[in-house]
Structure 1
Amino acid sequence: MTEQAYVSGPYVDAEQQRAAGLMGMYVFLGSEIMLFGGLFAAALVIRVLYPHEVVEASKALHIWIGAINTAVLLTSSLAVAVAVHAARQGQRRTVVMLFAIAAVLGVAFLAIKAFEYSREYADGVLPGFSDPARFTGNVEHLFMNLYLIATALHALHVTVGVALLSGVATFVGTERLLLPRRSIVVENTGLYWHLVDAIWVFLYPVLYLAR
């Protein structure tokens, strides 16, 4: 049976259907970029107006924990990229294995992030639990609030990504999602995960390397 048999209306062929699927995903990813773009814009304004205070606040973050998490996400993104290529070739087992690896790495990222939050709580710098004497001014508190909002929002996206990776891996593994005919589902899941990865790649220098 050819891929043409799986084309649904109003599309005339598989390529048009695939292009429409990708376009819908690009529009969704664009809205996510605008969401985080506002946070990056706020970080830029604070850095320009109060460079010294931002540097001091950034020193409270655990740079090596953030670096480890960056490596974890980059590795998971590589696994997803290879899985997408395998999906186009109809390599079902490879897709399942690599998506499972990426999902496990996503969980590892969340666990490391939770540990980092616990360390910041112990250090008295986590917003809502911070030591009033820990920082010398309101800007430092503002920076840490921005840090918590941005990283917590990103962690939420990682959680959604892990659920998507696990779900797609399950459907592919049980052959409820046939490859390569429905490889667009794997591709769109990969695009979402790459966005999550890319956002962290920008968050890390903006927050951790501002010192």
Structure 2
Amino acid sequence: MRDVGFGADCVHVVGHPYLERICAESRDSGSTGNTIRVLFVSQPITSDQSFKGIFFTQFGGRRLIDEIADVIEMGSAHFAFPGRRVKMCLRRHPKEQPLEKLPKGMDADPFAEWDTSLREHHIFIGMDSMALVEAGLAGKRCITLDLPEFRSLSDGSVPFAYSKKAVNTAGLAEALEAAVAALDASSGNGSTCPEFLHDSTQRTLDVAERFFNKKI
């Protein structure tokens, strides 16, 4: 901000009160039991104005969402989730078009409220949407699809680690196995708050008070 002419006394770093609240509130869904709930957090591709969901992008003539669904299905039957059922859901972005058919065995997210969805699902898969960041801050197990085809769509600007990265479907299988192992080994929601978010609400209130008292 100072580079474009604002003086030091005009810039106030307050953090982000909403994200601070995300960190603070428990969203522990409890034991996974025999069902692991995996949520695909979609987002639209805006660079070409198509608003097509990232999971419906085709690689080699096949949709990404079908490839990933197969990886999870194979993992649940063979190596990653022995004796467990995997429930796959997709949460579409409101601007996403067109609304394509989901793979067999996958449903739309049944929860209208994001906070409920955040609490009820165990593992979140996406690219770099704000929803995925929030899931990571809430202590959920997150996997970022860092596919070469997507790198031009991401600004890579999130200043903290919040997920495991998968650069291909083999990497996704490994990340899923690690996520399930982490779920089994942990208790509680395990959320952590990056240092720059600490006291965001109070810092914002302090700046607002000084502004209304005309001290800034």
TM-score, with length taken from structure 1:
0.28
Q: Which gives a bigger RCO, structure 1 or 2 (Cα 8 Å, sep 6+)?
A: 1
Q: Which has the higher strand share?
A: 2
Structure 2 length-normalised TM: 0.28
